[in-house]
Chains A and B, each alone.
Chain A
C-alpha cells in the first residue's frame, strides 16, 4: 500500500506512539507464542530422551506401567488413520470443489457452501460421539468385525473433518486460474468437462496439493474424534486386516493418559515427547504448504 508512505509523514503524537508500539508488540507476539510452545514442549519432553533408553523409546511396545514406552505403535497408528482419511477425502474434496466452483448452478452453491461451513463448525467431540454411537455399529455389522471402533472408522470420521479445509483451499486454487485459460480451451472446441480436467485442474494443481497438505495436517492433529472411534489399542498392526482393527494415534495417547500420570515421571515426559513429534510433523507439513502459497502468491494467484 503506497499511501502509507504519504501517511508516515503526518504529525506525531505521544498517544499515537504508545498505541502503535503496543500494536507492533501484538504483531510480533505470534512469533513469541510459537517459540514459547516449542520451548515448553522441549522443556517437559526432552528429559524423556535422556531418562528412557532410546531403543525402548523407539521400540514396538507401549506398556507404560511396565516401563515400555515404544512410540512406534502410535506413530504407525497416526499414519494409518491419516492416510486413510486423505485417501477418502482427496477425491471427495477435489470433486466437490470442482463441482461448487465450475459446475453447480447458483442455487446449489448457495446450499452447499453453508453446509460445508456447518461441518467445519461441528466440534470434534460431537463428531466422535456420532462416530461411536452411529457409524461404529454400522461398520461392525457390515464388515462382520468384532468391534466397529477401528482404524477405518477413524479414517472415515477424520476424512469428513478434513473435507472443509480441502474444499475451501482447492476452491481458492481453482478460483485463481485465469478466466482466459478456460476461454482458450472452450474456443478451441473443448467441452466444459474437457476444459475442467485438462486445463483448469492441472493449472490449479499446486494449490490442490496445498489443500491436501493442510487437510492432512488437520487430520494428523485431530484428537477427540479419533480417540473416541479408533478403539485405542496401542499395538503394532501386524495382520493384513489391520485397517479393520482397533488402533491408537499419537494424539489420542496424549489425551487419554496425560490426566493420569504423575508430573515429572518418565511417562509424563514421554507424553510430552510425543507432543514434540506431533509439533514437528505438523510444522513441516504446514511449512511446506506455506512455502507453496508464498511462492504462488508472488507469481500471482494460487496456481
Chain B
C-alpha cells in the first residue's frame, strides 16, 4: 500500500475520532440527566406545587407556566411568521426593500437572548405597562422565535413547484386563492417543522423571560395574561444556583422534565418532516 493511502486511512480515522468527540458528550449530557433525574420523577413531582422553600413538593406550576408561555408564543409568532414567509416566498421581488427584510431576519436571529430580555423589559413591561406578565413574556419570546419560523416556512413554500401556482391561475384562481388553497397545504409539513423548531427554542430559553415574566416562587397557577408565572428553565436556574442545600435529585429531575419537553418537540419536528417527505407528490 502506498504511503499516501496510509495517510488517507489515518486521516479518515482521525476525522471519525473527532466526530466521536463531538457526539459522545451529547449522549453523556442526555444520559447523565436521565440516569440521575429519573428517580425524582413521580406523580407527586409532576402535579404538585413546590413547598418548604422549593426543597419539597413538585414542579407543577413551572410545567404549566412553560406550556402556557410556549402556547402564547405560538399564537403570537405563527401568524406573523408564516405571513412574513408568504410575503418573501410569493410576493417579494428582489428589491433593496426585500434585501433589507432579509438583513433584519438575519439580525433578529443573531441578537443575544438576554438582549431580547432587555427589549421586552423596556417595551412590554415598562413602556406598554404590561408589567412582568405572561403577555410580556410571550411577545418577547415570539419576536425571538420569528426568524426561525420565517426562514423555515419560506424554504418550505419555495420548495413547492411553480407549476402548482400556474395551474391554479390557469383555472381562474386569484393569486391568493392559489397560495391559500394549493401552495400553503403543500408546504404545511415544512412550516410545522419550522414552527416546532422555533417553539422548542422558546420553551427552553431563560434569559428572555428573566425580567419579563418569570417568577422566582409562585406556587399557584397564573390567573390571567397579566400574571407572573414560574417556568421550567428559570426554575432550574433558581434551584441550581440560588437555593443552597437543594437536593441534587430534584435539580436533575427538573432538568429531565425540561429536557423531555424540549426534545419531544424536536422528535415531533423530525417525525413530521420525514413522514411527509415520503408522501410528497413532487
Contacts and interface: CB of A to CB of B under 8 A. Distances in A.
Given A44-B118, A95-B19, 18 more contacts: A6-B169, A26-B83, A30-B104, A34-B108, A43-B122, A92-B21, A118-B266, A122-B29, A125-B234, A127-B29, A129-B236, A160-B22, A223-B114, A224-B207, A259-B210, A286-B106, A287-B103, A289-B106
Given A191-B4, A258-B118, A33 B22 contact: no
B248 interface: yes
Chain A interface mostly: helix
B175 interface: yes
B262 to A, nearest CB: 6
A30 B240 contact: no
Interface string A245-273: 00000010011001100010000000110
A116 B262 CA distance: 15
Interface in A118-144: 118-119, 121-130, 132-134
B119 A122 contact: no
Contacts of A51: none
Interface of B: 4-5, 7-8, 11-12, 14-16, 18-19, 21-23, 25-27, 29-30, 32-33, 79-81, 83-84, 86-88, 90-92, 97, 99-119, 121-123, 126-127, 143, 146-147, 150, 162, 165-166, 169, 172-178, 197, 200-201, 203-207, 210-211, 233-234, 236-237, 240-241, 248, 251, 255, 258-259, 262-263, 265-266, 270
Contact of A255 (B14, B29, B102, B117): B117
Contacts of A278: 112, 114-115
A163 B22 contact: yes
* Chain A interface residue bracket vs B: 35 or more
A31 B100 contact: yes
Contact of B111 (A10, A23, A103, A279): A279
Nearest to A232: B241
Q: Which among A91, A99, A163 has the highest number of chain B CB atoms within 10 Å?
A: A99
Interface string A1-35: 10110111011110110011011111111110110
